[in-house]
Chains A and B, each alone.
Chain A
Amino acid sequence: MTDTYLNLVNTGFTKKLAKQLGLPRPAVLRRHRPGAPLVPGPVVVLDDAASEKDADTVAQQLLDWDLDVRRHAGPEERFGAAVVVLTEVASPEDLSAPVLALGPVLKRLAPGGRVVVVSRPAAGATSPAAAAARQGIDGVVRSLAKELRGGATGNGIVLADGVAPSAPSAVGALRFLLSGRSAFVDGQLVEVDSDAGELPTDWERPLDGRVAVVTGAARGIGAAIARTLAGQGATVVAVDVPAAGDALAKVANEVHGTALQLDITATDAAERLLQHVRSRHGRLDVVVHNAGITRDKLLANMTPEKWDPVVGVNVMAPLRITDALLVSEALGEAPRVVCLASTSGIAGNRGQTNYAASKGGVIGMVQASAPALAAAGGTINAVAPGFIETDMTARIPFATREVARRFNSLQQGGQPVDVAETIAFLASPQAGGINGRTLRVCGQNMVGR
């Protein structure tokens, strides 16, 4: 789907006109391109005094990635990214120096730049002051993200107490947030719960040798997920309803995977899915519960025909398939389950009680299933997309669509690949320490948290 306005304000005469009229000018986002640098310039690593050791660890990691790393922002420089390490703050007062040092850097952030703040959860703090400082960082991240322009984003990594900045998921999240793969992730805090996970040998193909099932893979976000997972090395089993089989075949062939025509709400769906994967590949490492439908109706006019299928496809099928997966012999050693939630499931949406019930349900399912997955050596997480340019959103009336599209910090809708990249990150071996979480891919949508 194309965003005509975005194209107009970024090219030729209309670009100049938009500038003079003071129209909002959404930037063309920096997305992952093979061979492009991880960040578009030097990276400055800032810290409060107490967190210096962790900041050094982070800086060393960045150096290992061949980045140009600075521990202080010089006067004339332009930065590709700023990483602020605040893991050991004990009081809100400690925020002053590092945050104020960050201020001037923002002005000199390159288009598509990144700000990543590394901190600890307030819940784990040993004193009210420390908790205040930690929770304060949350507010800083969400606010600075709204300040950034030129397609730059601001996000945080929240490391559970005891988890070092060198933990695989801390490193993985840092690289993800710095990279073009997180283009539409903005104003979010990625919570790392444990040291679990494993760094990949090849950052471009972390999913090498993994077998991944993607439901609803025939088109839109599902097709993008299949492509992205395959691009990162996974063998993809693309699943969709038989009626979408032709589009599904196209996707499966494109990614050199297999197509499985299956209605995931069928009673034997899990069995057939697992049987297919077992016979063809021997095991299953990644399941992406992407299949979803909408049947919008105000609750006042809601009917079972519009309620039941939405709940059936969006949350009942993932519940059943995940249950079956957990007891299956086909389950890989470090399984990853990634579900599709929605900002509607977080903030609600008029006319979408059914959809919000299902997507809110997904968030609950993910939280509750985390221990079981952890016990199996794996994780389960959700991604909550905001406004994404798909066939589905293209059907929204123009005015509504235009408002929904601009109603976020990046002033544009995301692309299916943005959701796919986040899912690929959560499905990767390095994300093993992130479990039971819902990560938004919404360009910091104004609604909800």
Chain B
Amino acid sequence: MSTATGRSGATGRSGAADGSERAGGRVVELPATPGLAGLYGRGVVGSARAAVARRRSVRPGSLPGTRLRVSGVRPDPTHLSDYQHLLHEGASDVLPAGFVHVLAFPVATALMVRPDFPLPLLGMVHVANRVEQRRGLRLGEALDVEVHVRDLAAHRAGVTVDVVAEVSVDGERAWEGVSTYLVKGVRLDGAERPDGARDSFEVPVPTGQWRLGADAGRRYAAVSGDRNPIHTTTLAAKAFGFPRTIAHGMYTAARAIAAVGPARGEAYRWDVEFAKPVLLPSTVAVRVAPDDDGFGYAVWNPRKGTPHLTGSVTPLR
């Protein structure tokens, strides 16, 4: 099975699969961006292994220091167009931050399915994402993608981990994404669970709405390569406790930053916090509007007034 991501190949730097030590951990150079389908297979196995081990807690410091690296990634123009059309992005040659996330995602997944990663891949919930786009990346530039994990933290519902992806061109860091995932029901040894209630959500005046079809998950899966079955098949979604498939969090966040439009500039911070997942199909209310130092956005259920995600886009400099 080919994934859309598979089209974004690496320029064949000689496959130095062996690691080389670097500050903060061993760097493992992959010959090319890995295929996500295979990774999910391994993820299922790894998750099963974790389940067999009935691991209910993790030790602080148990995260591997390994950094996975793919060099010379050159995005495919058709892939970029497909992404831009689906996410309502402009037709520029500048890569949207969400698209760069898509490019880095298989590398991050590859890191998380390695045996030394202490948490199960399946069932991980994306609770927050922070991206710093330091400069605009352009189609044609060779991107070096490097991923590591850090910051195991206690959460009221389990434990969170940050997956950090860095994208550089010629040694200069241009993009950095930090995805925070929650693993429910797992405790961090020696840490108190914070009991802090969620921030209350005040329903804003909408500026728009999105009608997300039943196929919204499958369509983003095709473009992002993230074919996590909770987004694509009802059965799998039910297995994880959702009545229907749910939209990819990054899809909704990327729609929001697309709605900011050209006003965001080429360098910006893009933050999002995910609350309740968006069940598909559904029509959600949206507000994307200027605030103090950039744009704020929120997506919520217009009938219940409960938030799906909130975030901001802040131009840098």
Q: Do A and B have CB atoms closer than 8 angstroms in the complex?
A: no
Binding site for B on A (CB under 8 A): none
